[in-house]
């Protein structure tokens, strides 16, 4: 055989165009992808028991011969398959549901293995819907009689089918060792080929742990190698070395109506130094919501302008692009600044050009700096910005990315962190409100609105009434809006969600901004960047469904002015776990601390927004495994 790990999946028997499409949906295109599609849990069927030794409630495998198997209709009109197997010690009943084809496969005399838990059926001990497998004396079992991996089920691809394909491949392929030198040197890691075999067909539970560890190591190494290569390419590029006009920049800073924080000063120094270098800057600026990242990027844009180059500002949404436009025009009344919308004609010679990712496909004459705001909202794709020049790139995010993750995922970038808030900021008082106090909370809000003319955000997790059971207790924003209108019948309410047209979104937001609405009911689309200083209260419904970092960013929409601000967390989930997580939010106002905590409690998905964007998505490894990340970076450094 000469099957290669890089071969297309379509070279396998039983994988026609139909299955190929289904596999593609799982991201499986090659044999290697298939082998890296690993079980998400394991069933231990390794205990093989004679029929006379079976005990109710035990999960075991029994091997015997079919004595009979027949279809029998149930009261509801479905078919059950009822039968019996025997070995040299006794007989036991077996039963399946709605699998009539079984009677055409498992004839009397067929030798099979069944795995599962022995329970009761028709007052007799029985295997109910067990895993089964025909036994042929020359072949070992795949689905029974051992520890059996269960693969994430996806439409039309059963775990059993996947396992059979993987088994087919493993029986034929020779797996070349990958990265074994470095992995084995760092000791205790399994060899790669062994790990691939054991992750699918472990002999014991310890195998599954060791195999996963080894494959996770490779995944980190791959990731790090990719970023290292990107960095190498970047260093070779010839960028634009800007002359830094110190006095002009100082002047600009001194004329601001606030004093920059020490943190802002520090990151501005780092950025300005980058701008003066010959290699293009590639820097990630992290800073909590409200830490003042915009002014930092504005100063970089100013330095760029003073050298006769353009700055492109990318925002994740049109709303935020509009807001940047307002801030920048008021900071730089004398510069030509243009806002690009879906309808506007592109002005290519402005000093600063602001827009959404649609700008990425355009080329401009003299771009010196590209600022990307809230990068994680753009998703996985590497930003490919085709320009005549090699501009400096400043990426900004309010997502508090834990250091270990940042250093792995973004090791081709330099990191700058703003780790303090402007002095005048107040803590946002955050409460976890028990359901029985909901009415009191509503009354309190009414009073705040009428006494202080304060404004309120009410955030709901989803737009449409969801059909899925796990989401059934989530209030849909539309339904919630209708009921809130009766609760707050003397107040003015607006509704904002992602399915509204751009124009409608802007209308609602502008009304809220201008004080024509008291309450804005919204999905998490208000999450990033929106600046409405008079909004001082936020209610978050279904708050347990959000990651802590995301909740923290959400509540950052209030507390932007000088008034005392509040965030009220509602949830129907009163489990200890949810309560503990949410309580952390009431006690901590550091986005980084919350992100670290979420990393421990829920994994990295919530922090990085993996679910939406696939950003930072790991297949096998886990971001919380800092030890392995360290091993992998050492290995890459030695490559």
By the criterion CB under 6 A, which residues form the site for ligand ADP? 258, 260-261, 264, 287, 289-295, 398, 422, 531
The least distance separating Mg ion from the CB of residue 352, rounded to whole angstroms, comes to: 16
What span, in angstroms and rounded, lies between the C-alpha atoms of 639 and 628? Answer: 16
Q: DSSP labels for 112-156? A: EEEEEEEEEETTEEEEES-EEEE--TTS--SSSSSEEEEPPPBTT
Task: Work out what residue 290 binds among ligand ADP, Mg ion, none; the CB cut-off runs from 5 to 8 Å by kind.
Answer: ligand ADP
Query: H or E segment at 234?
Result: helix 205-236
Task: Work out what residue 20 binds among Mg ion, ligand ADP, none; the CB cut-off runs from 5 to 8 Å by kind.
Answer: none
The least distance separating Mg ion from the CB of residue 323, rounded to whole angstroms, comes to: 8
Q: 46 vs 294, which CB is nearer to ligand ADP?
A: 294
What span, in angstroms and rounded, lies between the C-alpha atoms of 208 and 314? Answer: 44
Task: Work out what residue 287 binds among Mg ion, ligand ADP, none; the CB cut-off runs from 5 to 8 Å by kind.
Answer: ligand ADP
Q: 291 vs 610, which CB is nearer to ligand ADP?
A: 291
Q: 239 vs 529, which CB is nearer to Mg ion?
A: 529
In this structure, what is the dihedral angle of CA atoms 134, 139, 141, 143, given to the nearest 10 degrees? -60
CA angle 528, 532, 533 (to 5 degrees): 125
Q: Which two tokens stand for residue 595?
A: 């992100």
Q: Which two tokens stand for residue 269?
A: 């120094």
What span, in angstroms and rounded, lies between the C-alpha atoms of 52 and 397? Answer: 64
What span, in angstroms and rounded, lies between the C-alpha atoms of 75 and 196? Answer: 47
The least distance separating Mg ion from the CB of residue 414, rounded to whole angstroms, comes to: 20
Task: Work out what residue 552 binds among Mg ion, ligand ADP, none; the CB cut-off runs from 5 to 8 Å by kind.
Answer: none
Q: 294 vs 317, which CB is nearer to ligand ADP?
A: 294
Task: Work out what residue 531 binds among Mg ion, ligand ADP, none; the CB cut-off runs from 5 to 8 Å by kind.
Answer: ligand ADP
- Please state, as a whole number, how many other Cβ atoms lie within 10 Å of the Cβ of residue 23: 23
Task: Work out what residue 422 binds among Mg ion, ligand ADP, none; the CB cut-off runs from 5 to 8 Å by kind.
Answer: ligand ADP
Q: How many CA atoms lie within 13 A of 290 on its CB side?
A: 26
Q: 286 vs 522, which CB is nearer to Mg ion?
A: 286
Q: 132 vs 313, which CB is nearer to Mg ion?
A: 313
The least distance separating Mg ion from the CB of residue 5, rounded to whole angstroms, comes to: 44
Which residues on adjacent β-strands are paired with residue 314? 355, 372
The least distance separating ligand ADP from the CB of residue 601, rounded to whole angstroms, comes to: 25
The least distance separating ligand ADP from the CB of residue 302, rounded to whole angstroms, comes to: 15
Which residues on adjacent β-strands are paired with residue 417? 286
Task: Work out what residue 61 binds among ligand ADP, Mg ion, none; the CB cut-off runs from 5 to 8 Å by kind.
Answer: none
Binding site for Mg ion (CB under 5 A): 529
Q: 197 vs 377, which CB is nearer to Mg ion?
A: 377
Task: Work out what residue 324 binds among Mg ion, ligand ADP, none; the CB cut-off runs from 5 to 8 Å by kind.
Answer: none
Task: Work out what residue 145 binds among ligand ADP, Mg ion, none; the CB cut-off runs from 5 to 8 Å by kind.
Answer: none
Q: 258 vs 452, which CB is nearer to ligand ADP?
A: 258
Dihedral pair phi/psi, residue 92, rounded to 5°: -150, 145
Helix, coil or strand: residue 410: coil
Q: Which residue is at the shortest CB distance from Mg ion?
A: 529
The least distance separating Mg ion from the CB of residue 9, rounded to whole angstroms, comes to: 43
The least distance separating ligand ADP from the CB of residue 293, rounded to whole angstroms, comes to: 3
Characterize the bridge pairing of strands 124-128 and 90-97. Answer: parallel
- Please state, as a whole number, how many other Cβ atoms lie within 10 Å of the Cβ of residue 177: 12
User: Which residue is it, tokens 């909740």?
Assistant: 551
DSSP state of 492: -
Q: DSSP labels for 522-541? A: E-GGG-SS---TTEEEEEET
Q: 212 vs 293, which CB is nearer to ligand ADP?
A: 293
The least distance separating Mg ion from the CB of residue 322, rounded to whole angstroms, comes to: 13
């Amino acid at each position: 055989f000469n099957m290669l790990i890089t071969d297309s999946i379509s070279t396998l028997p039983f994988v026609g165009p139909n299955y190929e499409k289904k596999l593609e949906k799982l991201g499986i295109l090659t044999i290697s992808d298939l082998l890296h599609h690993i079980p998400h849990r394991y069933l231990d069927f390794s205990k093989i028991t004679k029929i006379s030794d079976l005990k109710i409630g035990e999960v075991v495998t029994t091997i015997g011969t079919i004595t009979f198997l027949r279809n029998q209709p149930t009261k509801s009109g479905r078919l059950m398959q009822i039968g019996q197997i025997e070995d040299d010690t006794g007989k036991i009943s077996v039963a399946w549901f709605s699998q009539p084809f079984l009677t055409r496969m498992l004839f009397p005399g067929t030798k099979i293995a069944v795995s599962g838990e022995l329970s009761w059926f028709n007052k007799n001990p029985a295997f109910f819907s067990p895993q089964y497998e025909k036994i042929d004396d020359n072949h070992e079992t795949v689905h029974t009689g051992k520890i059996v991996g269960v693969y994430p089920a996806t439409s039309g691809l059963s775990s059993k089918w996947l396992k059979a394909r993987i088994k087919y491949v493993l029986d034929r392929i020779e797996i070349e060792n990958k990265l074994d030198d470095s992995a084995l040197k760092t000791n205790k890691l399994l060899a790669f080929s062994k790990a691939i075999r054991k992750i699918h067909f472990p002999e014991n539970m310890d195998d599954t742990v060791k195999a996963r560890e080894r494959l996770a190591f490779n995944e980190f190494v791959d990731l790090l190698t990719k970023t290292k290569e990107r960095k190498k390419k970047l260093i070779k590029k010839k960028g634009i070395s800007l002359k830094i006009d110190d006095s002009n920049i100082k002047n600009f800073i001194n004329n601001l109506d606030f004093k920059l924080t020490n943190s802002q000063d520090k990151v501005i120094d780092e950025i300005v130094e980058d701008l003066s270098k010959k290699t293009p800057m590639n820097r990630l600026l992290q800073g909590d919501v409200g830490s003042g990242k915009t002014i930092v990027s504005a100063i970089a844009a100013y330095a760029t302008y003073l050298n006769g180059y353009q700055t492109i500002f990318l925002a994740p949404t049109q709303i935020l692009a509009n807001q940047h436009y307002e801030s920048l025009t008021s900071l730089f009344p004398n510069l030509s600044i243009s806002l690009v919308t879906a309808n506007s004609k592109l002005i290519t010679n402005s000093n600063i050009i602001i827009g959404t990712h649609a700008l990425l496909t355009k080329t401009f004459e003299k771009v010196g700096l590209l600022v990307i705001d809230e990068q994680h909202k753009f998703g996985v794709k590497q930003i490919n910005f085709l320009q005549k020049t090699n501009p400096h790139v400043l990426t900004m995010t309010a997502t508090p990315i834990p250091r270990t993750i940042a250093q792995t995922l973004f090791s081709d970038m330099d990191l700058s962190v703003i780790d303090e808030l402007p002095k005048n900021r107040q803590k946002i008082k955050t409460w976890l409100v028990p359901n029985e106090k909901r009415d009191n909370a509503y009354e309190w809000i009414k009073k705040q609105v009428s006494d202080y003319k304060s404004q309120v955000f009410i955030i709901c997790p989803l737009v449409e009434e969801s059909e899925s059971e796990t989401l059934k207790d989530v209030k849909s924003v539309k339904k919630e809006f209708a009921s809130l209108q009766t609760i707050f019948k003397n107040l003015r309410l607006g509704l904002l969600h992602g399915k509204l047209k751009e124009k409608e979104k802007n209308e609602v937001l502008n009304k809220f901004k201008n004080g024509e609405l008291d309450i804005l009911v919204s999905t998490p689309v208000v999450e990033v960047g929106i600046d409405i200083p008079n909004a001082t209260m936020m209610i978050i419904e279904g708050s347990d469904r959000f990651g802590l970092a995301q909740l923290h960013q959400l509540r950052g929409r209030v507390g932007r002015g000088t008034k005392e601000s509040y965030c009220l967390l509602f949830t129907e989930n009163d489990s200890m776990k949810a309560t503990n997580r949410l309580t952390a939010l009431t006690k901590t106002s550091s986005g980084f601390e919350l992100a670290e905590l979420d990393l421990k409690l829920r994994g990295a998905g919530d922090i990085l927004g993996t679910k939406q964007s696939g950003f930072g998505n790991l297949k096998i490894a886990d971001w919380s495994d800092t030890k392995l990340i360290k091993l992998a970076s050492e290995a890459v450094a030695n490559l």
